[in-house]
């Protein structure tokens, strides 16, 4: 199980061994982390917005056009922003760290 770290807005870090095949959003919700994820992962809300570091951003692969469009509506957008309902966990994601964004 790949180990994933969430960094909350206040800096607290939460580590978890994540189940392959789940999305990062699903893992965050299971942990009851402060993330709205209002559309339940159907790529319609942008409230599962996280940022990743540059290396991981590249490793996670192409961002779809639909995700790009929705990200444009997100607050606190960065060059390495992702919608984490679109990041499916795989074995090679051990060490992935995502930073949560403030809920609004
Ligand atoms: Fe709505 Fe990810 S949960 S876009």
**Predicted model pTM:** 0.96
**Residue located nearest, by CA, to atom 4 of ligand 1:** 43
Gap from CA of 56 to ligand 1 centroid (Å): 20
Dump strand ranges (E) for the chain.
3-7, 13-17, 49-52, 81-83, 97-100
What mean pLDDT do residues 19-38 have? 97
Q: 96 falls in which pLDDT band (50, 70, 90)?
A: very high
For ligand 1, whether the C-beta of 37 sits within 6 Å is: yes
Residue 16 in contact with ligand 1 by CB distance below 6 A? no
Taking residues 75-90, report their average pLDDT: 97
Cα separation, 95 vs 104, in Å, equals: 28
Q: What mean pLDDT comes out for the span 7-22? A: 97
Q: Residues 29-46: what's their mean pLDDT?
A: 97
Compute, in angstroms, the gap from residue 3 CA to the centroid of ligand 1: 22
Report the pLDDT averaged over residues 10-37. 98
- Is the shortest distance between the CB of 39 and ligand 1 below 6 Å? yes
Q: Return the CATH number of 3-100, one of 3.40.50.1220, 3.10.20.30, 3.30.210.10, 3.40.50.1100.
A: 3.10.20.30
Task: Give 103's pLDDT tier (boundaries 50, 70, 90).
Answer: confident
């Amino acid at each position: 199980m790949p180990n994933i770290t969430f960094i909350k807005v206040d800096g607290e870090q939460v580590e978890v061994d994540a189940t392959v095949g789940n999305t990062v959003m699903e893992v965050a919700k299971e942990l009851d982390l402060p993330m709205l994820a209002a559309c339940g992962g159907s790529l319609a809300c942008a409230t599962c917005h996280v940022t990743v570091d540059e290396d991981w951003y590249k490793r996670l692969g192409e961002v779809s056009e639909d995700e790009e469009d929705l990200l444009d509506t997100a607050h606190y957008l960065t060059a390495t922003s992702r919608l984490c309902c679109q990041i499916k966990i795989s074995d090679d994601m051990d060490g992935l760290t995502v930073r949560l964004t403030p809920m609004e």
